[in-house]
Amino acid sequence: MEDIKISIIMPVYGVEKFVGKAIESIQAQTLKEWEMFAVDDGTKDNSGVICDEYAAKDSRIKVIHKENGGAPSARNVAIPQAKGKYMYFMDSDDWCEPTMLEDMYKLAEENNAQYVVTGYYIDTYHSDTEYTTQECFQPAQIFSSQQEFRENAYRLFDTNLLYTPWNKLFLSSYIHENGLLFPNTFWDDFPFNLSVIRGVERVVVADNKYYHFMRARAESETAKYRPEMYDKREEEHGWMTDLYKGWGIDDENSREFLARRYIERFIGCVENITNPGCTLSAKEKRAEIKKMLKNPNVKWALANAKANSSYMKIMLIPYKMNSTLLVYLESMTITFVKRRFTKLFTKLKAGR
């Protein structure tokens, strides 16, 4: 195929139950001029074999087998090999609507865009057949300048549109010329997208939703105790503040967003401490929370953040009181609801 419009890059690991549907959703695309790199990251199940079977029947699919190195390394192996004018990054346990690539391609071509952002669905499965769907999107917009995008980026961050790569189309020459790769870290999507938007000039947002993010597997990951979570979130906050300082953006809306983003994730870090997987004693957990509450970022965030819901206003009360005990008890309650009442937790989280 001489005219490859889009190169699709998909890391593959431990997804033998899902990867077939992911590939078939690409094969069903109305845009046909694509190539797909399915990168087998040393998977221990049959995911790589399944990819080979699809590749044997469709020459547009290329399978790369490598030793396990994580999703960032899998994506980075394929980026230099991509021949498409645009790149699209997909996860191997999700799927997408048939017109996604064609619609994104048209938007990019018509507007000479470097970066196309679309809406998406979060499908949270409570059983094999029962699930709830959350829609994430913003009104369609063609940004007239780099400055206009930067001044309005908080709206896109606020609806979780700028954190992941799979609801976006990237101009390949922009990726190559700036040497952009996925950093070797967990939650690598976020820093990669920050590196992209730091200097991007031509951005288009579509209000259409195409991608289905399947939270059935991801929820089990987010439910785990992660001893490094707090430090990671602090690092991420530093990236965000550095981004906005570099942009020279310090308006009230952006400050409020940064503050609310921080405190929402801080609450998640506290809940991580009360997770049953944390081996600290109850006394040690309260001591750790007390130490976390002394972080100056917490005071700053509480002074600048505006809760969007009654639920969030109630959640912030123990933090504004600076009560270690009440914060601990509230966090224990969140942990209980998160583990025992998944539907309720999903609804509350989406509505915060």
pLDDT at position 219, please? 46
Question: Mean pLDDT across the stretch 330-334?
Answer: 93
pLDDT for 126: 72
Q: Which two tokens stand for residue 350?
A: 């989406």
- The single-letter DSSP state of residue 8 is E
From 220, 254, 277, the end of a domain falls on 220
- Quick check: 92 and 19 in contact, CB under 8 A? yes
Residue 279 and residue 214 in one domain? no
Residue range 118-135: mean pLDDT, rounded:
85
Residue where one domain finishes, among candidates 186, 220, 254: 220
Question: Read out DSSP for 183-198?
Answer: -SSSS-HHHHHHHHHT
Q: How far apart are CA 334 and CA 332, in angstroms?
A: 5
Residue range 174-193: mean pLDDT, rounded: 93
Provide the residue range defining the domain that includes 236: 224-350
68 within domain boundaries: yes
| The pLDDT value given to residue 26 | 98
Helices (H), 98-186: 100-111, 146-158, 172-177
Tens digit of each residue's pLDDT (9 = 90 or more) over 185-236: 877 899 999 999 999 999 999 999 999 998 764 444 446 788 899 999 999 9
CATH code for position 45: 3.90.550.10
Q: Compare 145 and 125 and report the one with higher pLDDT.
A: 145
Residue 132 has pLDDT above 60, yes or no: yes
CA dist., res. 222 & res. 327, Å (int)? 20
Q: What is the pLDDT of residue 221?
A: 43
Coil vs helix vs strand at 74: helix
273-283 average pLDDT score? 93
Give the number of domains in the chain: 2
Percentage of the chain exceeding pLDDT 90: 83
* Residues ≥6 apart with Cβ < 8 Å to 244: 250, 254, 258
**3-class secondary-structure state, position 35:** strand
At residue 179, the 3 state secondary structure works out as coil
Which among 175, 204, 220 is the end of a domain?
A: 220
Helix, coil or strand: residue 80: helix
**Which of 177-186, 260-269, 303-312, 338-347 comes out lowest in average pLDDT?**
338-347
In a shared domain, residues 205 and 289: no
Arithmetic mean of pLDDT, 258-287: 95
Work out the pLDDT band at 116, boundaries 50, 70, 90: very high
- At 295-307, the pLDDT tens digits run 999 999 999 999 8
228, part of any domain:
yes
Could you tell me how many residues make up the chain? 352
Angle at 110 between CA 108 and CA 116, to 5 degrees: 20
Give me the chain's average pLDDT, please.
93
Residue at token pair 């001489």: 2
In this predicted structure, the answer to whether residue 351 has a pLDDT above a threshold of 80 is no
Domain co-membership, 178 together with 216: yes
The answer to the question of residue 199 being in a domain is yes
37-92: per-residue pLDDT in tens?
Answer: 999 999 999 999 999 999 999 999 999 999 999 999 999 999 999 999 999 999 99
Q: 184 pLDDT exceeds 50?
A: yes
